[in-house]
Amino acid sequence: MSKFGTLVMGPAGAGKSTFCAALIQHLQNNKRPCFYVNLDPAAEDFAFEPDIDIKDLISLEDVMDEMSLGPNGGLIYCFEFLLENLDFLTEPLSDVTEDYLIVFDMPGQIELYTHVPILPELVKHLMRGNLNINMCAAYLLESTFVIDRPKFFAGTLSAMSAMLMLEMPHINILSKMDLVKGQVAKRDLKRFLNVDADLIDEDTERKSTIKEGSKRIEDPGATENIMGGESFNRLNKAVAQLIDDFSMVSFLKLNAQDEDSVGAILSYIDDAIQYHESQEPKEPKDMDTGMMEGAMDG
C-alpha cells in the first residue's frame, strides 16, 4: 500500500506553516484526509493540532537551555536526536492509509537545506524504508525577495541546493504573491518565475546608474551600500551564473489566502508524486517472488 506526503521547506518566515494550514483546510474542504506532522521543534501556535509534533520528542528551548546551544546548533541537535529515534515517526506513520496526504512542516534554518546532511537521511527513511512514502518536496521562497535581487538569487540557490541534496520530486513556490501584486510588471515577474540570470546584471547596472546620477552622496559608506560593492556584485553574478548553468529552478505562485491558489499547488504536488511513482522501477524482489509463484503454480 502506498502512502503520500509532502515536505514543506524553506527559509524562516517563508510562509511554511501558513501554507500547511491552508493546505489542510483545503483538503478538509474537499473531504480528503490529512495527517499533519510538525518537525519544527520551536513552533508554538498551530492553526491545526499536529498529529505528530517533534516537540513531544524534543524541544528546541530545552536543548538550548541544557546544552547551551544557539538556535541553529540547537536545531541540528534536535534533528540528530530525531534520526536516532526514528520510531517516533515510524510507528504512528505506519498506520496512515493511502487516502491521506501526510504534510510535514519543516523548520526555517537554512543550513538544513544547504549543507548539513541530515535531511537526506530523514527523507531516505521516509521514502525508502518500510514506510515507503511517495513524497514531493515543496520549497517556499518569499516573493517579496524580488525587490532585492541578490536576496532572490541567494534564496533560489538554497532551493537548488535542496533539490540537489534530496533527490526527490520537488516543486519551488514563490509565496505571499498577494504582497507583490502590482509592484512588479507581469513581464518581469515571468523572468523571476523562470529565473532569468540576466536580472542580476540589470540590477548592477541599475544601481550604478543610481550611483552616477546621485549628486549628493556625502558618506562613502552610502555609495558602498547603493553599489553593494564590486566583490558583492561579482559574487551575485557567480551565484546567478551557477543557477543558470544548472537550469533546474523555476517557481509556482502561491497566495496562501486564496483557496484556488492553494488548490493549484496541491495539484502540482499530486502530479509530481504520481509521475514519480509511475517512473519507479519495479522491485526485483517482487519479480523474483512472482516468478517463483508462477513456477510453483506450474
Ligand X SMILES: Nc1nc2c(ncn2[C@@H]2O[C@H](COP(=O)(O)OP(=O)(O)OP(=O)(O)O)[C@@H](O)[C@H]2O)c(=O)[nH]1
55 counts as binding ligand X under rule CB under 6 A: no
User: With respect to ligand X, which residue has the nearer C-beta, 138 or 197?
Assistant: 138
The single-letter code of the amino acid at 250 is: S
What is the footprint of ligand X within residues 193-222 (CB under 6 A)? none
Which residues are within 8 A (CB) of 99 and not within 5 positions of it... i.e. 6 or more apart? 32, 33
Q: Please, what sign has the CA dihedral across residues 87, 88, 91, 94?
A: negative
Query: What does the block give as the cell for 16?
Result: 511554511
120 counts as binding ligand X under rule CB under 6 A: no
Piece of 10-18, 76-84, 182-190, 191-199 that binds ligand X (CB under 6 A): 10-18
158 counts as binding ligand X under rule CB under 6 A: no
Separation between Cα atoms, residue 188 and residue 185, nearest integer Å: 5
Kindly state the number of chain residues that form the binding site for ligand X, as judged by CB under 6 A: 18
108 counts as binding ligand X under rule CB under 6 A: yes
**Binding residue (CB under 6 A) for ligand X from 61, 178, 196, 259:** 178
DSSP category for residue 287: H
Query: What does the block give as the cell for 238?
Result: 557567480
**Binding residue (CB under 6 A) for ligand X from 136, 256, 266, 273:** 256
Closest CA to 172 of 142, 135, 147, 128: 142
Residue 221: HSE in the Cβ half-sphere, 13 Å Cα cutoff: 0
Q: Please, what sign has the CA dihedral across residues 40, 45, 50, 54?
A: positive
176 counts as binding ligand X under rule CB under 6 A: yes
User: With respect to ligand X, which residue has the nearer C-beta, 18 or 25?
Assistant: 18
**What minimum distance in Å lies between the beta carbon of 222 and ligand X?**
31
Piece of 14-22, 59-67, 130-138, 289-297 that binds ligand X (CB under 6 A): 14-22
* Total Cβ atoms within 10 A of residue 136: 21
253 counts as binding ligand X under rule CB under 6 A: no
**Binding residue (CB under 6 A) for ligand X from 9, 14, 60, 174:** 14
Strand, helix or coil for residue 293: helix
Interacting residues toward ligand X by CB under 6 A: 10, 12-18, 40, 43, 108, 175-176, 178-179, 255-257
